[in-house]
Amino acid sequence: MGTYIGLAILAVVLVYAIVIYNGLVALKHNVSKAWSNIDVLLKQRHDELPKLVEACKQHMQFEAATLEQVMQARSGARSAADKGDVKGVGGAETMLRSALGNITATVEAYPELRANQSLQMLLARITGLENAIADRREFYNESVNVNNVRVEQFPDVIVARTGGFKAAELLEFEAEALRDVDLKGLFAT
């Protein structure tokens, strides 16, 4: 009789470990899926940036530094995303958002740019992508948070360590991205 009880307890523990393992696998894949969603949006936005820069170049001969800043930030963000460097993406995206803010402010200073419909459509498209990235970033960070809690909670931590599950990194932008844009400074001559 003791043998049957021992086998029953072992079977329950084994089934419980399998359930935990499968849950951790699902969480890991949710984090990957959420990152892939962000990556798709980043690629779409990065594909739109050369069009924006080209449209601005036609009118902004004296703002070459602003356009160059956008392209350098774009390159850094794309490189970090390709490497899967979440922390690097956060820093590069902060620089890119700042550069895009400079372009938007500069466009406001040029009446011919404000009147250019294709440029305004590009800016609207990029703004829409920015909003979608913010939404997906929130979903990614929530997925990472759930994953990180589970891999540290008992008894999940035992299965997580045995199965090689690890905590994931949150996608955070630098404090600079959270500050208000100094529009007065951008329009100063």
181 and 94 Cβ atoms separated by less than 8 Å = no
183 and 105 Cβ atoms separated by less than 8 Å = yes
CATH of the domain at 64: 1.20.1440.20
User: What are 53-106's pLDDT values in tens digits?
Assistant: 777 776 665 467 777 777 788 888 888 888 878 888 888 888 888 878 777 777
Can you give the pTM of this predicted structure? 0.69
Question: Cα 171 to chain center, whole Å?
Answer: 6
Q: Cα(106)–Cα(110) distance, rounded to whole angstroms?
A: 7
Question: For the chain, which residues score pLDDT lower than 50?
Answer: 62, 177-184, 186-189
CB neighbours of residue 173 within 10 Å: 17
Number of domains in the chain: 1
The DSSP annotation for 74-95 comes to HHHHHHHHHHT-HHHHHHHHHH
DSSP 110: -
Of 73, 47, 41, 20, which is closest to residue 138 (Cα–Cα)?
Answer: 41
Helix H or strand E segment including 40: helix 2-57
Query: Looking only at Cα atoms, what is the longest distance across the chain?
Result: 90
Q: Which domain holds residue 58?
A: 2-187
pLDDT at 3: 92
Q: Cα(127)–Cα(25) distance, rounded to whole angstroms?
A: 35
